[in-house]
Structure 1
Amino acid sequence: MSDPQKDDPAAAGASVDSGDQSSWRSKAAMIVPLAIFFALGAVIDTSPKVDGDVIDASAYLTLVAARVLLMTGSLIFFTRQIATQFQWSVDRLGVIVGIVGALLWIGICEMQIERGGIAWLGLSPDWLPEREGVNPWMAFPGAGERGVFLILRFVLLVICVPIAEELFMRGFLMRAVEVEDWTRLPLSQIGRTGLVVGTVYAIASHPGEAIAATLWFSLVSWLMLRTGRFWNCVLAHAITNLLLGVYVCLFERWWLW
């Protein structure tokens, strides 16, 4: 018996409204939210102004708040286009993959395999970029400001980034390299080229965690091909990020976020 989710174009990631799907807004919906994330990072300078500081806390709070506000606004603006291409559909596999993905990511990052490999080659580990590593209890001594930061940081981590990144990566990039009329390509039909390009993006956007990014991306891509459900991928991404954020705060592993 065939899988009804894979036989249903809408559930598998293809639109049933071909006119709206081919519009510029339908394509922009896949790209703009993540573009906002990177554009704000380039515009707002968070470099430390005091020796010994990791970051300019005030500027970083502004950056996180701006990202949450503008990315959420863009997702609301493009709600119709996103819903047309990817109807809401999730299952327990999304939850399972999210949990397994978090365990993989945390375990591999804690081993710091990438830095060990760089050192083995005789190169300086400083060659690999590091995250901001912001400790909220150090950067924001006031409980109120710290609370606002943590709320915004988790909204960005668990909601905005998973949706925006999956829209760009699986909604646009991995489909666009497969066929010209990419907005009609179901996720379950993405081929080898799309998978390779997606893996390259995952590594390029997480060079300091290249091995973890490769394995995590491969796991979620398996979920994508297995179920054909876009929102399953978002759910897995969100759960991984949530568990990572909780782990970071509980064990003070600030360099992981």
Structure 2
Amino acid sequence: MNIATLSRIAPFTLYMIFVALEGFLHYLVNKGLLTIPDHYLLCLYPLKVLAVALVLFYFRRSYTEIRFKELLSLALFLFSSLAGIAVFILWINLDQPFATIGTLRGFDPNLFPAEGMRIFLIATRLAGAALVVPLMEELFWRSFLIRYIISPDFSKTPLGRFTWPSFLITTVLFGLEHNLFLAGMLAGIAYNLLLYRTKSLAACIYAHGLTNLALGIYVLQTGKWYFW
């Protein structure tokens, strides 16, 4: 595996390992095989975000396709902002049972009595969702996989090249990564279309981050923790 592939797969893989670990620990707690309060597992999130951020930082020189200066274009910035807000609006209106797989456990920091811990968990959740996760996911889905499906030598495929197989496969898999799978698929469509329209991975990262930031603020305002 070359460095271009590893640098885009490793952060996502590490993130999913943490997700699997959290699910396994929840299973042990529910079965009475692990005797800790279930909400203590929320403390895994800061570790997950830190670990992924460190891997991203380690490989930072490999991400030459990310050019945040592109967002200085007012048209690109506004278009990406519109995409990010549109996905947020879709997301909060697609929490019906038919559009959900698995259990929506949520991330409720109020389960911790100490105010300092609550603030810490909220801050790391917002930072992780708005900064780390969009970078990690967009590098995997719209820099690596969407091009790898077109050609295993993905780095020679220009960003934003369209094929039906790459579009459909990444849309479906991106949706299935989330408990709100229908919202996830529509988000995948939106971010894919943004990539095709702008040829800018920075635009996708920004739009994705804006979606997640808006969702985080919405959760804090409404107390609908299951969105987190």
Asked if the contact 1:202/1:214 (under 8 Å) is kept, the reply is yes
**How do 1:1-257 residues align onto structure 2 when only pairs under 5 Å count?**
24-44=2-22, 46-47=25-26, 49=29, 56-61=38-43, 63-82=44-63, 84-88=64-68, 89-90=70-71, 91-92=76-77, 93-109=79-95, 112=96, 114=98, 128-137=101-110, 139-206=111-178, 208-257=179-228
**Deviation per CA, 1:180-228, whole angstroms, max 9, x where unpaired?**
321121222131111011112122212x422222222211211110000
3-state SS, counterpart of residue 187 of structure 1: coil
CA shift at 1:58, angstroms?
2.6
Asked if the contact 2:175/2:188 (under 8 Å) is kept, the reply is no
Equivalent position amino acid for 2:98 in 1: E
Asked if the contact 1:114/1:209 (under 8 Å) is kept, the reply is no
CA shift at 1:67, angstroms?
1.0
Equivalent position amino acid for 2:67 in 1: Q
Distance between the aligned counterparts of 1:85 and 1:226, measured in 2?
16
3-state SS, counterpart of residue 145 of structure 1: helix
3-state SS, counterpart of residue 188 of structure 1: coil
Asked if the contact 1:154/1:245 (under 8 Å) is kept, the reply is yes
Give the aligned length: 217
Distance 1:145 1:49, change over 3 A: same
Equivalent position amino acid for 1:230 in 2: L
Residue in 2 that maps onto 1:20: none
Equivalent position amino acid for 1:85 in 2: E
CA shift at 1:59, angstroms?
3.0
Distance between the aligned counterparts of 1:190 and 1:30, measured in 2?
20
Moved more, 165-174 or 87-96: 87-96
Asked if the contact 2:84/2:207 (under 8 Å) is kept, the reply is yes
Distance between the aligned counterparts of 1:101 and 1:237, measured in 2?
8
Provide the identity percentage.
27
Distance between the aligned counterparts of 2:225 and 2:173, measured in 1?
24
Asked if the contact 1:175/1:190 (under 8 Å) is kept, the reply is no
Higher Cα Rg: structure 1 or 2? 1
Asked if the contact 1:130/1:255 (under 8 Å) is kept, the reply is no
3-state SS, counterpart of residue 85 of structure 1: coil
Equivalent position amino acid for 2:66 in 1: F
